[in-house]
């Protein structure tokens, strides 16, 4: 699974990145996690507000830090699709 956190490095972007690592560790899921900070790369996903979360090329969240429960649900769904 390929996960990208899109954002400049603001507090919310860093919070989302940490939550992703926490969920992956708690659920024992192996994934590649990248924090994309370059504005051109962020816009290439069609994202206009950050933080955003992209899993396997699909934007899952944009402009919001989801609850940990919702983040876990989205990551678990993606892991099942595999």
Q: Is the dihedral of CA 56, 61, 62, 66 positive or negative?
A: negative
Total domains, the chain: 1
Burial class from Cβ neighbours inside 10 Å (0-12, 13-18, 19+) for residue 52 reads: buried
- Whether cis (ω within 30° of 0) applies to the bond prior to 20 is no
Per-residue pLDDT in tens (0 to 9) along the chain, 82 residues = 999 999 998 999 999 999 999 999 999 999 999 999 999 999 999 999 999 999 999 999 999 999 999 999 999 999 998 7
pLDDT at 82: 73
Structural domain containing residue 65: 2-81
Task: Please give the model's pTM, rounded to 2 decimal places.
Answer: 0.94
Catalytic positions? 10, 13
pLDDT at 77: 96
Closest CA to 35 of 67, 64, 3: 3
Q: How many residues does the chain have?
A: 82
Neighbours of 66 (CB within 10 A): 16
CATH of the domain at 42: 3.40.30.10
């Amino acid at each position: 699974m390929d996960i990208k956190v899109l954002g400049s490095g603001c507090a919310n972007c860093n919070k989302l990145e940490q939550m992703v690592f926490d969920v992956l560790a708690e659920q024992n899921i192996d994934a590649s996690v990248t924090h994309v900070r370059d504005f051109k790369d962020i816009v290439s996903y069609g994202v206009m507000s950050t933080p955003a979360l992209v899993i396997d090329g699909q934007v899952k969240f944009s402009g919001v830090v989801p609850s940990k429960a919702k983040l876990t649900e989205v990551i678990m769904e993606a892991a099942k699709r595999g």
